[in-house]
Structure 1
Amino acid sequence: MARVVVVGSINMDLVTLAPRFPAPGETILGDRFVTVHGGKGANQAVAAARLGAEVALVGALGDDAFGAPLREGLAREGVSLEHVATLAGHSSGTASITVAGGENHIVVVPGANAQVTPAQVERAQAALARADAILVQMEIPLETVEATLRLGHRLGKPVILNPAPAQPLPLDWLKLARYLTPNQHELAILLDATPDEDFLSLMRRAPAPVVLTRGADGAWYRDGGEPTHQSGFPVEAVDTTGAGDTFNAALAVFLHEGVPTAVRKACAAAALSVTRLGAQGGMPTRGELDTLLAAQA
């Protein structure tokens, strides 16, 4: 069983479906409202646990109405919450999402996610030291992302940096990552490049090995030598939400089997995730992944 530590965000997504977006100052009636557990850290932790890993999450929740159900949901998935703090006087992270006509408007309030500190990562050092892989994203303070990269590097553990939401980062931070896992748009932002620069060129000049996600086309990876393509798995897509988080989780879970195998399994897991609604709702189990891989052998 692979051991994975995820350092990242936990959100409650508040989703309203409406016939159209209201104009400024206007009130309209919506069609439906749902609450969905999310946040890139929580999503990746859940996906890794369903794929059979022993998973610990480092993060923070508020002591509001959303904190308890978010914690309970993660616990049901088997995620260790020893290093998830509940912060008095803080709200849990939320994403208020309005969906209309196939488009969406989103307002994210980080809440407790903005209080995940380098000191909290240091307190989780024993868990990181046991990990086979460490996952971190960028929905928490950048100083905490840096602390995770530096601690993982010091411990000799592979840190996978999923640079989303993307912004330029210092090159010395990026060099600490064992793998960067952007899509093409995120890689261009990360390297402060022009949007039209060829992604293979960007991969070659990145300061750390890159595993680049390409949606239905699969992924490209470079771990020394030239970039290599891994084809995607053809499926009927229903909802692509959470596909990237599933990909990253699977990469971490199977990294000990070697990069080519891990990328192939990550592409397969991501493909399965888009066949059902919701980010966490679509994330596959280890059995479902094995069935797809066997059918494609």
Structure 2
Amino acid sequence: MISVFGSANMDLVAYVSQAPRRGETVTGHRFRTIPGGKGANQAIAATRAGARVAFLGAVGDDGFGAELRATLKEAGADVRGLREVPGSSGIAHIVVDDDGGNSIIVVPGANGAVKGPSGEDMAAIARSDALLLQLELPMEAVVAAAQAAQVSGVPVVLTPAPVQPLPPELLAAVTMIVPNEHEAAALTGVEDPEAALEALLEQVEEAVITLGEEGALYGSRSGTRLRVPAVKVRAVDTTAAGDTFVGALAVARSERLDMEEALRFASVAAALSVQREGASTSTPTRREIEEALD
């Protein structure tokens, strides 16, 4: 089982030919509301990729909260750890341009009320093969969940987004960090991805840097270095690419695939996701991933 301690947001997605610059108003050609949030996206991606998943987080007592819960449950995730708090659920305002690029503003809502894992959350984490974390919950909550996993000997996979300084106590509990190239540069102060990878490995045991169309880099303190090429596709919406990659990677690792196979599995899942619109709605099934791998 994989546990995801993270955010659930309703994505408010505007599709435009070109994203507006500061002070500019543009006319969009479509609008959708799509369940998302980095935590929920990773949970759904892992579920569809073949894992049993427990989602731990919070939604508000509004209509969005009910829809987010229903979406996670329908995908197959265990939502007993999804608490309801007074007020609004988290939302993300997303602008997607015709090239598939996006910009995102997140308003935490109920996610901001999560101060740490409950006793039931810690029990679920202790039973897990891996814990997936992101940074859309308060840092104190993320640190507490990571430390709970560390105590139980559960590997911790951190997506450091939205990027921010990482406290030493969090890094000490992280097994693998998975930033994109921009996040890696922000965390290390190093622009070159290969150099950034080495800098990250001074802080954690394993690191994967996703490079978009250039694939992904992997390194471990044991000395392994890998570069896996991306699958060449025409992107429609890249919103959930990173979360799909992490969810699928966690599944592959839990099934004891070697690292190169796991990265390939995750890369194919991400490539399938960018060919579809939306976040949770774009993640592929296990069958789709396996067919694309053949």
- Normalization by structure 1: what TM-score? 0.88
Q: CA deviation at 1:143?
A: 0.5
Between the aligned partners of 1:105 and 1:218, the Cα distance in structure 2 is 21
| 1:156–1:104 distance in 2 versus 1, CA, 3 Å | closer
SS in 2 for 1:66: helix
| 1:290–1:123 distance in 2 versus 1, CA, 3 Å | same
2:197 paired residue number: 203
| 1:214–1:177 distance in 2 versus 1, CA, 3 Å | same
| 1:205–1:21 distance in 2 versus 1, CA, 3 Å | closer
Between the aligned partners of 2:177 and 2:170, the Cα distance in structure 1 is 11
2:274 paired residue number: 274
Q: CA deviation at 1:269?
A: 0.9
Between the aligned partners of 2:104 and 2:135, the Cα distance in structure 1 is 17
Work out whether 1:149 is the aligned partner of 2:146: yes
Matches within 5 A, 1:185-264: 185-191=182-188, 193-194=189-190, 196=191, 198-206=192-200, 207-208=203-204, 209-223=206-220, 224-256=222-254, 257=256, 258-264=258-264
Q: CA deviation at 1:238?
A: 2.1
> Which 5+ residue runs of structure 2 have no aligned equivalent?
none
Percent identical among aligned pairs is 44
Which residue of the other structure, out of 75, 78, 89, is the alignment partner of 2:76?
78
Between the aligned partners of 1:215 and 1:18, the Cα distance in structure 2 is 21
Number of residues paired by the alignment?
286
SS in 1 for 2:63: coil
Between the aligned partners of 1:28 and 1:79, the Cα distance in structure 2 is 38
Between the aligned partners of 1:50 and 1:216, the Cα distance in structure 2 is 23
Range 70-79 or range 259-268, more displaced = 259-268
Flag the structure with larger Rg. 1
Between the aligned partners of 1:104 and 1:218, the Cα distance in structure 2 is 19
| 1:30–1:227 distance in 2 versus 1, CA, 3 Å | closer
- Normalization by structure 2: what TM-score? 0.89
Between the aligned partners of 2:183 and 2:21, the Cα distance in structure 1 is 31
**CA RMSD, aligned part only?**
2.3
Between the aligned partners of 2:232 and 2:267, the Cα distance in structure 1 is 10
Q: CA deviation at 1:230?
A: 1.2
- State the AA in 1 paired with 2:68: L
Q: CA deviation at 1:187?
A: 1.4
Cα deviation 1:109-149 (Å, max 9, x = unaligned):
110000112143x4312211111111000000001111111
Matches within 5 A, 1:33-182: 33-88=31-86, 90-98=87-95, 106-120=104-118, 122-182=119-179
Between the aligned partners of 2:278 and 2:108, the Cα distance in structure 1 is 20
- State the AA in 2 paired with 1:188: A
8 Å contact from structure 1 (residues 203, 227) kept in 2: no
